[in-house]
Amino acid sequence: MKTQRWFTPWVLTIPALAWLLVFSVWPSINTLRLSFTNAKPLGGDVDFVGLRNYTDMLHDGDVRTALLNSVVYMAICLPLLTILPLLLAVLVEKRLPGISFFRTAFYVPVIASAVVVGLMWTWLLDDRGLINNMARALHVVAQPVPFLTDRWLVLISAISLTVWKGLGYYMIVYLAALGNVRKDLHEAAAIDGAGAVRRFLTVTVPGVRGTMFLVSILVSVAALRVFSELYILTGGKGGPGGKDQSLVMLIQQYAGGFYGNFGYASALSVLLFAVTLVPMIVLARLNNRSER
Amino acid sequence: MKALRYFLLAFVLVITVGPFLWELSTSLKGAGEDIYTQTPSFVPHQPTLNNYAKVADAIPVWRYIGNSLVVAALTVGGNILFATTAGYAIARLRFRGRSVVLGLFLSTLVLPGEVTIVSQYVTVRDFGLADTLVGVALPGMVAALNVLLMYNAFRALPQEIDEAAIVDGATVPQRLLRVSLPAVRGTLAVVAIFAFIQAWDDFLWPLIVLTSPEKYTLTVGLQYLSGTFTQDQRLIAAGTMIAFIPIAILFSALQRYFFRGVEEGGVKG
């Protein structure tokens, strides 16, 4: 029986496919191509310059600083955002009265724009903001803590913002996974006299191990892609002496304007892609090994 | 035990929602109230909406809301339409090249959007769409992730419902619209909510595409407000609330569908 005409699937697929080719596949190829040129936003001749953008990158102190920042960002985000959201998911898993209110409320930071929460935190962390005022009122510190003006504290502030904003998102990912953890194992462990902590470690964690690896990859890649948090907390300036920049901030700077350089920005993009592959490959390997 | 759970829930609630309430409180404090004092009050002493009016004096905030809505509407429309059709075709129809198409959509998932943002801008500029709202919306109108979400949802439906419809002589569009689509409403809602949130919240891409202040979306406009026009935290707070409240209302109205969609398996990295 003939159920469809030959072209029907293509009519349905072609718009999405065209978008994929024009806005994902072609830009990927073009990024690589541009990274070997000296293309500028303001026009002019486009020449192939070989590996010059890449050799320039090796000697660029900003790039080295950005990579260092990325490693620190990832190293702190990875454990916090892999573990805290799981604890949170366990907390909201049980169907207590009012639990859906808490689930929704915990998700609120996720739906807010990074610009909105960035400005909120700028105010909270201000020298005369709530956190410094409380710390001084409680005599924890005598002078305001320079959350937004110290080279390392800016980075730590941005990391806290990323962790705070990500909690709800990964909580939901874990919540979906917790539904698949076998209830009978929990009951058996409880009958054997295992306490809550023990059951969490021996039943829950092994049950969601695959999801933990998935989350750890998502968290690492997201940490390497950070832009808005650092941009907003530093008013677009990248902190004292521009020391608090991420790779994406550098890409954005070279993407336009008088000093723009599409060639160099593209080489930075290729570097960014290479860097995001590292945690993906390492964590995928670890996952495979632990499954054997 | 139960009390401990509620205590912990309340503690996390203060951490996650507290900052929003503090921002709301700051936005309602009048010029006469010292917001920098060491003993700040959570409840405004002389609550006022003045700061919101002042935001509209400093930046064309209504226009920015309109601009953000245009971008969000295009993004939601494009994703609902094209992710549904493509997801349906790949999941429910047999055709040559089907697995290649699926593989192509899957392969783009490992590519962070920031990596291609420069050449994407070059493409949009070559289309003559630099510094336009269409240029902001265009690349996000079909997201590969949404195609795959719809594909997953359609694939989970039993084969029999199509067979019965085919026996009745239903064409492909009839089968899609009347048989399959109603069964995947949860996932469709997740796709729509996320497309809206993503478009409304996006900052980096509009920051790159838009150069004229009158074309800014709300997020870029907010940054413009805090960077250029004012140091007054009351005004900035009012601006953030203008950007946040619509999406908070939208989300709380639709959160039922969202969490149901999550249970259907609608949320994946």
Q: How many CA atoms lie within 13 A of A60 on its CB side?
A: 17
Contacts of B261 (CB under 8 A, 6+ apart): B186, B187, B189, B190, B267
Residues of A in contact with B98 (CB under 8 A): 9
Residues of A in contact with B13 (CB under 8 A): 102, 105-106
Residue A164, in any domain of the structure: yes
B202: closest chain A residue by CA: A113
Rounded to an integer, what distance in angstroms lies between the CA atom of residue A40 and that of residue A222? Answer: 28
Does residue B217 surpass a pLDDT of 50?
yes
Rounded to an integer, what distance in angstroms lies between the CA atom of residue A182 and that of residue B153? Answer: 24
Which of A34, A123, A163, A220 is the best residue to mutate to test the B interface, defined by the most B CB atoms within 10 Å of its own CB?
A: A123
Which residues form the domain of A55? 49-291
B269 to chain A, minimum CA–CA distance in Å?
7
Are the beta carbons of B61 and B239 closer than 8 angstroms?
yes
Residues of A in contact with B244 (CB under 8 A): 112-113, 116
B105: closest chain A residue by CA: A20
Nearest to A30 among B111, B119, B204 (CB): B119
CATH number of the domain where residue A59 is located: 1.10.3720.10
CA distances, B43 to each of A104, B33, B89, B231 (Å): 24, 11, 55, 22
Residue A242, in any domain of the structure: yes
- Give residue A292's pLDDT band: very low, low, confident or very high (50, 70, 90): low
Beta-carbon separation of B112 and A273 below 8 A:
yes
Picking from B242, B208, B200, B203, the residue whose alpha carbon sits closest to that of residue B223 is: B203
Provide the token pair at A279: 């945690």
Helix or strand or coil: residue A221? helix
Provide the token pair at A83: 């573990």
Residue of higher predicted confidence among A122 and B264 = A122
Contacts of B81 (CB under 8 A, 6+ apart): A15
Beta bridge partners of A37: A48
Rounded to an integer, the average pLDDT of A132-160 is 92
Residue A36, in any domain of the structure: no
Looking at residue A121, what is its pLDDT? 96
Rounded to an integer, what distance in angstroms lies between the CA atom of residue B100 and that of residue A33? Answer: 25
Contacts of A151 (CB under 8 A, 6+ apart): A239, A240, A241, A243, A244
- Number of CB pairs < 8 Å for A and B? 261
pLDDT-above-70 percentage for chain A: 99
Unique residue bearing structure tokens 């009390």: B3
Rounded to an integer, what distance in angstroms lies between the CA atom of residue B236 and that of residue B256? Answer: 31
Residues of A in contact with B23 (CB under 8 A): 120, 123
Provide the token pair at A60: 């660029």
Q: CA-based angle A202:A206:A207, to the nearest 5?
A: 110
pLDDT tens-digit profile of A169-227? 999 999 888 888 878 888 888 888 888 888 889 889 988 998 999 999 999 999 999 99
pLDDT tens-digit profile of B37-95? 877 888 888 889 999 999 999 899 999 999 999 999 999 999 999 999 999 999 998 88
pLDDT tens-digit profile of B94-147? 888 899 999 999 988 888 899 999 999 999 999 999 999 999 999 999 999 999
B224: closest chain A residue by CA: A235
Does residue B185 surpass a pLDDT of 80?
yes
Residue A239, in any domain of the structure: yes
B40 to chain A, minimum CA–CA distance in Å?
8
Which of B41, B118, B225 is the best residue to mutate to test the A interface, defined by the most A CB atoms within 10 Å of its own CB?
A: B118
Nearest to A269 among B9, B118, B144 (CB): B118
pLDDT-above-70 percentage for chain B: 97
Residue A216, in any domain of the structure: yes
Picking from A26, A28, A53, the residue whose alpha carbon sits closest to that of residue A38 is: A53
Beta-carbon separation of B251 and A111 below 8 A:
yes
Rounded to an integer, what distance in angstroms lies between the CA atom of residue B22 and that of residue B36? Answer: 13
Residue A19, in any domain of the structure: no
Residue A161, in any domain of the structure: yes
Q: Which domains does chain B have, with CATH numbers?
A: 1-48 (no CATH), 49-263 (1.10.3720.10)
Provide the token pair at A179: 């539904």
Looking at residue A2, what is its pLDDT? 58
| Helix boundaries (H) for chain A | 8-20, 26-34, 52-58, 61-93, 99-111, 114-124, 130-137, 151-178, 183-191, 196-199, 205-207, 209-224, 228-233, 247-254, 262-291
CA distances, B250 to each of A105, A107, A148, A188 (Å): 14, 13, 32, 43
Beta-carbon separation of B40 and A133 below 8 A:
yes
State how many domains chain A has: 1
Q: How many CB atoms lie within 10 A of CB B115?
A: 26
Q: How large is the ipTM?
A: 0.91
B131: closest chain A residue by CA: A256
Residue A88, in any domain of the structure: yes
